[in-house]
């Protein structure tokens, strides 16, 4: 009887866990040094390897932080970050945490998030 209850509990609770898990997804982007101060990529753009970015998701109403994960860029300045769960009801954005280029460490004002 105890085994039957455990099996029932696992079967009954599994859908709850699946609903809470949500659909994971990936966010991909690039970090570059805007040497021309154009605000967009140009032929003079230098992509930054080893930059650290953070994805933050905040509650839509209270703006309390609900999720945060960091990632680093590869040799092409590209980050590809796995995000667990469903954040559909939250406001999510990516922001620069650090740059590996000493002369290019500040996010452009309109692109900071």
User: How sure is the predictor about 86, in pLDDT bands with cuts at 50, 70 and 90?
Assistant: confident
Three-state SS annotation for the chain: CHHHHHHHHHHHHHHHHHHHHCCCEEEEEECEECCCCCCCCCCCCEECCCCEEEEEEEECCCCCEEEEEEEECCCCCEEEEEECCCCCCEEEEEEEEECCCCCCCCCCHHHCC
Asked if residue 12 has pLDDT above 90, the reply is: no
Entry pTM: 0.72
pLDDT tens, position by position, 13-37: 334 343 445 678 888 999 988 877 7
Whether the CB-CB separation of 35 and 76 falls below 8 Å is answered with: no
Whether the CB-CB separation of 91 and 60 falls below 8 Å is answered with: yes
């Amino acid at each position: 009887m105890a085994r039957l209850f455990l099996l029932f509990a696992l079967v009954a609770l599994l859908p709850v866990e699946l609903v809470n898990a949500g659909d994971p997804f990936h966010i991909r982007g690039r970090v570059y040094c805007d040497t021309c101060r154009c605000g967009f990529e140009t032929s003079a753009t230098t992509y930054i390897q080893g930059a650290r970015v953070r994805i933050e998701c905040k509650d839509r109403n209270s703006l309390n932080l609900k999720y945060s994960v960091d990632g680093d860029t590869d040799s092409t300045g590209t980050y590809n970050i796995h995000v667990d769960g469903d954040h559909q009801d939250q406001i999510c954005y990516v922001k620069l945490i650090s740059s590996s280029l000493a002369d290019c460490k500040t996010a452009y004002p309109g692109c900071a998030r």
